[in-house]
Amino acid sequence: MAKSLPVSPLAPKDGFPDLPVIKGVRFATVEAGVRYKNRTDVMLAELAPGTVMTGTFTRSKTRSAAVLDCQDKIHETSDAGAAILVNSGNANAFTGAEGRTAVHAICEGVSEALGIPENRVFTSSTGVIGEPLPHDRITSAVGTLRAKLSETGIAEAARAIMTTDTFPKGSARQVAIDGATVSVAGIAKGSGMIAPDMATMLVYIFTDAKIAREELQPLVGAICNQTFNCITVDSDTSTSDTLLVAATGATGIDVTGNGDFEKALTEVMDDLAKQVVRDGEGATKFVSVYVTGSATEEDAKRVAFAIANSPLVKTAVAGEDPNWGRVVMAVGKSGAEADRDKLSIWFGQHQVALNGKIAPDYSEADAAKYMKGQEVDIRVDLGLGSFGTVVYTCDLTAQYIAINADYRS
Amino acid sequence: MAKSLPVSPLAPKDGFPDLPVIKGVRFATVEAGVRYKNRTDVMLAELAPGTVMTGTFTRSKTRSAAVLDCQDKIHETSDAGAAILVNSGNANAFTGAEGRTAVHAICEGVSEALGIPENRVFTSSTGVIGEPLPHDRITSAVGTLRAKLSETGIAEAARAIMTTDTFPKGSARQVAIDGATVSVAGIAKGSGMIAPDMATMLVYIFTDAKIAREELQPLVGAICNQTFNCITVDSDTSTSDTLLVAATGATGIDVTGNGDFEKALTEVMDDLAKQVVRDGEGATKFVSVYVTGSATEEDAKRVAFAIANSPLVKTAVAGEDPNWGRVVMAVGKSGAEADRDKLSIWFGQHQVALNGKIAPDYSEADAAKYMKGQEVDIRVDLGLGSFGTVVYTCDLTAQYIAINADYRS
């Protein structure tokens, strides 16, 4: 089970970062016993009146009741407070009408406890699919959660939302704007069923900056495309993927169109996205796949994901083998425009292929040595045009199999 | 290395079948030492004058020199004899101009030795990508191959083309037509980089029936769509995938439009396709994914392949876990039209989900017992329309990782 897994060797060396207080947000966690024992499994974030809520969600056709409920509510604007409640252990996905009832009961409970409208309560559930969510265990804990709300509870919140994660994920940036400090802090959980084509997994980001919903939502969408939509662990897409970004406005600092704020938000999202990959199930290598010289932007993504999702490329990386033939194979199967005789490939600084053949100076021994590192860059130049992209992934190891062959047992 | 792998537990219980002699075809094999030691690695099939050659090939954009050469030649008709030469150990893919030179040298050597035009010599190479093919080792063995040609050499040919295969693959059918017997016999090799969207891996099928090229080619294409294009091991597509079907016409029996012949050819192709899956790298379970009730035929394929290629579904099968939540996830990510509340799922005869919820009579214990079998059927009914399909795959095990992390070492 999740708890006994060793911490990923790719986890940040400095542990969980020291996240700043975000004015207007308080956190609480509790051991509700939804499924796990002896650990927190529900987190509540209370957001001050005036908070702007934005988000992006999985495009899965079988998305969970909580995701459907969030999608209904996210476009509404309100000056009331808001709340986010997340449970781990049970995804409340594929639970039919019971699933909707459970979400409604939780939202109602939080609404009453915090004195905010029900349409301002956003929930997520993560864990096993297809089993009814024992929502009474959550609603009966709401009073305790309210009593424990604290401005400094974000690190505990990051722990409560973990499933097969081996380390909690947090990131923050602070920027000085108009002589004041604006903070952005976020938490995330992975770590299987990670693929793009939507905000991947569960991510909650908070800022005390002031920004209108109409400004923040497209910004979040655009940054999501460059961050969470550029990672993949196993090409599987969750039914519950949710990214919520809440701007409390508590500093009174308006960041509309502010480049420093955009940079801070981008860095937090990029950091969290990469942490999710670093905790990819069974991962021992962090892999950056760069594609350049493609004829279109879409082709660059196709090639990058074909490489990043290829089981044969990922097992070669696990085996520390500079097996560039498998990279060629992945380019070929991607469906993107490619010309074998214009293709060049690098592992790190080691050029292995040039114009469709092995590079004249290529040293297998040097490349093999490079593959022993924890960070592996694979770069492909298609030699056809001027588009490019980067996608992050991890290797595929026997530990991935072990985790996923046993997860429900 | 390939040779030391234990035979797949899914291998046919009766071993390699007793294949009939196909009139007009002779086989020979040799230890040419292309890469492997102490085993045969080149096979030659000589085809009588008048043989009709048809085939389908990988759609990979980085296909090998041999595939490109076959594609150039396959559409020509000729009354001359023909030949197929296959080597294992080196794929001669991504080898630039040298690759073309190697194919030309081999074709020339065979052409001279057998006295047939060079454009009637078809070659395949399978094995490591990106390393120059030492074609002189093959051309210098052509004389030996010619001397060894025998009508009964097909079983040896099946062994010579193996790479990571753990058992040789053969299949045959015989049908009585007009008081005479027509035979169809084929051999194939897998077993990684197996995905559809083309005749997958290397397959050579021979018949002594008489049929025109214009009749046989579309028939082979149509059967390929129902057989080799319905299997996947790891979603990776080879640069070398080749299916050749040769009709020698040596019986003089015209099978144009003959249903019995079509059935025999279909059965041989179906059998070989399934044997490839049965030898999927690390496979311990043979999985049939049935999709019914989809809105379009394309959607049925999308859903079936999303399930069959999902690492999370495949690891659950390896773990003997009836984890239908992952099947739901795969349906959701497939991109096909789906309505969560109309979805039904079965493992074998065990209905686990009905109309988007757990089925009332579902017994986890019974389903878990079913998953312990070597043959696992997963069926999904989308409840939307009348289209369906079936796709064959295998589970994903730690052995797959072990094989592929070490293959080149």
Contacts of A407 in chain B (CB under 8 A): 316, 319, 321, 323
- Whether the CB of B318 is below 8 Å from some CB of chain A: the reply is yes
What HEC string does chain A produce?
CHHHCCCCCCCCCCCCCCCCCCCCEEEEEECCCCCCCCCCCEEEEEECCCCEEEEEECCCCCCCHHHHHHHHHCCCCCCCCEEEEEEEEECCCCCHHHHHHHHHHHHHHHHHHHCCCHHHEEEEEEEECCCCCCHHHHHCCHHHHHHHCECCCHHHHHHHCCCCCCCCEEEEEEEEECCEEEEEEEEEECCCCCCCCCCCCEEEEEECCECCHHHHHHHHHHHHHHCHHHECCCCCCCCCCEEEEEECCCCCCECCCCHHHHHHHHHHHHHHHHHHHHCCCCCCCEEEEEEEEECCHHHHHHHHHHHHHCHHHHHHHHCCCCCHHHHHHHHHHCCCCCCHHHCEEEECCEEEEECCEECCCCCHHHHHHHHCCCEEEEEEECCCCCEEEEEEEECCCHHHHHHHHHCCC
Question: Is position A200 annotated as part of the catalytic site?
Answer: yes
> What are residue B28's DSSP bridge partners?
B44
> What are residue A52's DSSP bridge partners?
A247
Give mean pLDDT, residues A233-237.
63
pLDDT of residue B101: 96
- Whether the CB of A61 is below 8 Å from some CB of chain B: the reply is yes
Q: How many CA atoms lie within 13 A of A115 on its CB side?
A: 3
pLDDT of residue B96: 82
pLDDT tens-digit readout, A35-48 = 989 999 999 999 99
Asked if the model's pLDDT at residue A379 lies above 90, the reply is: yes
pLDDT of residue B195: 45
A89-to-A107, A162, A194, A373, B316 alpha-carbon distances in Å: 18, 9, 17, 34, 18
pLDDT of residue A63: 81
DSSP state letters, B244-301: EEEE--TT--B-TT-HHHHHHHHHHHHHHHHHHHHT-TT---EEEEEEEEESSHHHHH
H or E, element range at B181: strand B180-189
Q: Do B397 and A400 touch (CB under 8 A)?
A: no
Asked if the model's pLDDT at residue A2 lies above 60, the reply is: no
Contacts of A235 in chain B (CB under 8 A): 309-311
pLDDT tens-digit readout, B275-301 = 988 988 888 999 999 999 999 999 999
pLDDT of residue A240: 72
pLDDT tens-digit readout, B97-119 = 899 999 999 999 999 999 999 99
Give mean pLDDT, residues A260-281.
92
pLDDT of residue A197: 33
Contacts of B402 in chain A (CB under 8 A): 398
Which band of pLDDT confidence, cut at 50, 70 and 90, is reported for residue A149?
Answer: very high
Whose CA is closest to B236, among B198, B188, B289? B198
ipTM of the complex: 0.73
Give mean pLDDT, residues A372-401.
93
- Whether the CB of B75 is below 8 Å from some CB of chain A: the reply is no
Give mean pLDDT, residues A342-362.
91
A382-to-A231, A352, B359 alpha-carbon distances in Å: 21, 14, 50
Residues 252-291 of B with CB under 8 A from A: none
- Whether the CB of A193 is below 8 Å from some CB of chain B: the reply is yes
Contacts of A318 in chain B (CB under 8 A): 401, 405
Whose CA is closest to B95, among B240, B243, B241? B240
pLDDT of residue A335: 84
pLDDT tens-digit readout, A64-105 = 889 999 999 998 888 899 999 999 989 888 888 899 999 999
pLDDT of residue A1: 38
Q: Which of B146-150, B232-236, B334-338 has the lowest mean pLDDT?
A: B232-236
Q: Do B129 and A333 touch (CB under 8 A)?
A: no
Contacts of B321 in chain A (CB under 8 A): 405-409
Give mean pLDDT, residues A157-169.
92
Residues 331-390 of B with CB under 8 A from A: 331-341, 343, 353, 355-358
Q: Do A311 and B239 touch (CB under 8 A)?
A: no
Contacts of A321 in chain B (CB under 8 A): 405-409
pLDDT of residue A164: 80
Shortest Cα distance from B209 to chain A (angstroms)?
35
In the block, residue with structure tokens 């380019």: A331
Residues 96-125 of B with CB under 8 A from A: 96-98
pLDDT of residue B4: 62
Angstrom distance (rounded) from CA A404 to CA A185: 31
Q: Do A401 and B396 touch (CB under 8 A)?
A: yes
Which band of pLDDT confidence, cut at 50, 70 and 90, is reported for residue A332?
Answer: confident
Asked if the model's pLDDT at residue A235 lies above 90, the reply is: no
User: Does the N-terminal peptide bond of residue A191 adopt cis geometry, omega within 30 degrees of 0?
Assistant: yes
pLDDT tens-digit readout, B209-224 = 999 999 999 999 999 9
The rounded mean pLDDT for chain A is: 90
Asked if the model's pLDDT at residue B240 lies above 90, the reply is: no
Angstrom distance (rounded) from CA B287 to CA B307: 10
Angstrom distance (rounded) from CA B403 to CA B389: 31
pLDDT of residue A199: 28
Whether residue A358 contacts residue A352, with contact meaning beta carbons closer than 8 Å, is answered with yes
Length of chain B: 409
Shortest Cα distance from A407 to chain B (angstroms)?
8
pLDDT of residue B199: 29
Asked if the model's pLDDT at residue B238 lies above 70, the reply is: no
Length of chain A: 409
Angstrom distance (rounded) from CA A211 to CA A73: 19
Q: Do B319 and A353 touch (CB under 8 A)?
A: no
Q: Which domains does chain B have, with CATH numbers?
A: 25-278 (3.60.70.12), 286-405 (3.10.20.340)
Which band of pLDDT confidence, cut at 50, 70 and 90, is reported for residue B235?
Answer: low
* Catalytic residue numbers of B, as ranges: 200
- For residue B73 the two structure tokens come to 């030649």
Cα B54 to chain center, whole Å?
16
Q: CB A70: neighbour CB atoms within 10 A?
A: 22
Which band of pLDDT confidence, cut at 50, 70 and 90, is reported for residue B198?
Answer: very low
Asked if the model's pLDDT at residue B70 lies above 80, the reply is: yes
Q: Do A319 and B131 touch (CB under 8 A)?
A: no
Asked if the model's pLDDT at residue B2 lies above 80, the reply is: no
Q: Which of A374-378, B46-50, B66-70, B340-344 has the lowest mean pLDDT?
A: B340-344
Shortest Cα distance from B378 to chain A (angstroms)?
16
Which residues, at least 6 apart from B172, have a Cβ–Cβ distance to it below 8 Å? B17, B19, B20, B183, B184, B185, B186, B268
